A and B are shown apart, each in its own frame.
Chain A
Amino acid sequence: DTAVSQTPKYLVTQMGNDKSIKCEQNLGHDTMYWYKQDSKKFLKIMFSYNNKELIINETVPNRFSPKSPDKAHLNLHINSLELGDSAVYFCASSQRQGVGNTIYFGEGSWLTVV
């Protein structure tokens, strides 16, 4: 059983399109995250979200929006895709945000914008 699963794993789409990446965790964690691994391979946080609070990295364009239908899911919606959005996006979860807990990652979604 995959602890953090995200779909699709690979996505190729045209500029200007709107796309979503889905994420689900079955660990019973309270907090979920979206990370972006850029061309320089840095893992940078985009969002963290628990039931009460969404924290957005201020550098993330507002074309990106997380949507959480329930505690176990945090989907990433991207509007008006741009070439520079091509990257690997990782969903992750932890028991409680910022309290010494391990973050568990999904396998990543490779987004290519053409």
Chain B
Amino acid sequence: DQQVKQNSPSLSVQEGRISILNCDYTNSMFDYFLWYKKYPAEGPTFLISISSIKDKNEDGRFTVFLNKSAKHLSLHIVPSQPGDSAVYFCAARNYGQNFVFGPGTRLSVLP
């Protein structure tokens, strides 16, 4: 029962272009969402969050969009840089519950 899905296992983008990472969820009660970035042999590090009362949150080059009706969120990275190459995890939770993580998408930013 996979409540959080990231259907693209990998994504390659040219440096300077936009990277769009997608995440879908099944539980309509999820009210808070996180994106994490993970380099090899390191733990996931927090990138950006969004609450279900918003549809967009921006932090520098990173923007997260939430479409509640579609149960879909996306992470936009503009412009993409080689240092952005990592695995990106989406996570979601219902209030008072633990976060559920997606399987991750490996982003490769090509110079």
Known A100-B32, A100-B51, A102-B34: A4·B43 in contact at CB below 8 Å: yes
Known A40-B103, A41-B103, A102-B34: A97·B98 in contact at CB below 8 Å: yes
Q: When the two chains form their complex, are residues A105 and B32 in contact, meaning their CB atoms are under 8 A apart?
A: no
Q: When the two chains form their complex, are residues B104 and A108 in contact, meaning their CB atoms are under 8 A apart?
A: no
List, in ascending order, chain B residues with CB within 8 A of A105's CB. 36, 43-45
Q: When the two chains form their complex, are residues A108 and B41 in contact, meaning their CB atoms are under 8 A apart?
A: yes
Known A98-B93, A102-B34, A102-B49: A45·B99 in contact at CB below 8 Å: yes
Interface of chain B: mostly helix, strand, loop or mixed: strand
List, in ascending order, chain A residues with CB within 8 A of B36's CB. 105
Cβ of A64 within 8 Å of any chain B Cβ, yes or no, is no
> Footprint of B on A, CB under 8 Å?
4, 33, 35, 40-45, 48, 55, 90, 92, 97-100, 102-108
* Given A43-B101, A103-B99, 6 further pairs, Cβ under 8 A: A42-B103, A43-B44, A45-B99, A98-B95, A100-B95, A105-B44
